[in-house]
Structure 1
Amino acid sequence: MADPVPLYVIGLSKDEPANEVLSSKFGSALEKVQKVLSNIIEAKITVEFQNPEGSKTHYDATATVKTSKNTLIYTASGWDILKIADELSRKLEGEYSDRENKRQRESIRKKEEF
């Protein structure tokens, strides 16, 4: 089993429930993707929010996944932090299916001629 990827949540206090939700959902997505992208160094989620004193708070979240070859960046924004966590996780898991499909492609040379 691979080592867990270090995940940092910036912009939310550690005792806030939204911090725990983001960490758990995005962390489980990182574990899934780590099977295909085994060279992940670290992951960081930066959360910015507007109108924290009012009744509604608008969140802007940016997830950055740093690998040894490149950096993957995903953004999401909205009023509900749960939906934002789901959207960021879904975008990251999209990498899993993309990489998996590329590996399973048949070679042109192996196709039979009719």
Structure 2
Amino acid sequence: MAEPVPLYVVGLSKDEPANEVLSSKFGAALEKVQKVLSHIIEAKITVESQNPEGSRTHYDVTASVKTSQNTLVYTDSGWDILKIADELSRKLEGELSKRDDKRQRESIRKKEEF
């Protein structure tokens, strides 16, 4: 089993519930993607909160995944941290379809007859 990817959440306090939501959802997506992108070094989620004292808080979230070849960056913003975490996880899992070369089975009709 591969070792877990270090995941850092910047911009939220450790006891805030949004921190736990982002860590768990994005961490699960990282585990899925690690099977295809095995060269992931670290992942960092940066959260910028706007109007935290009011009744609603607007979040601007940037997730960056550093690999040995390049850095993948995903951004999303909104009022609901759960929706943002789901969207960032979906964007990261989109890398699976980009990297998978054997997505379709070879057609039976195209096989040569012996």
For 1:25-44, list aligned pairs within 5 A.
25-44=25-44
Residue 84 of structure 1 corresponds to 84
Q: Using the alignment, how far apart are the partners of 1:24 and 1:112 within structure 2?
A: 45
Q: Deviations over 1:6-41 (max 9, x none)?
A: 000000000000000000000000000000000000
Q: Using the alignment, how far apart are the partners of 2:15 and 2:88 within structure 1?
A: 21
Residue 95 of structure 1 corresponds to 95
**Once superposed, what is the RMSD of the aligned Cα atoms?**
1.6
Aligned-pair distance for 1:98?
1.6
Q: Confirm or deny that 1:104 pairs with 2:106.
A: no
Q: Deviations over 1:42-90 (max 9, x none)?
A: 0000000100110010000000000000000000000000000000000
TM-score scaled by length of structure 1? 0.90
The ranges of structure 1 where at least 4 consecutive aligned residues each deviate by more than 3 angstroms after the TM superposition are none
TM-score scaled by length of structure 2? 0.90
Q: Using the alignment, how far apart are the partners of 1:60 and 1:89 within structure 2?
A: 15
The gaps in structure 1 that reach 5 residues or longer are: none
Residue 61 of structure 1 corresponds to 61
Q: Confirm or deny that 1:18 pairs with 2:18.
A: yes
The gaps in structure 2 that reach 5 residues or longer are: none
Residue 2 of structure 1 corresponds to 2
Q: Alignment length, in residue pairs?
A: 108
The percent of aligned pairs where both chains have the same amino acid is 82
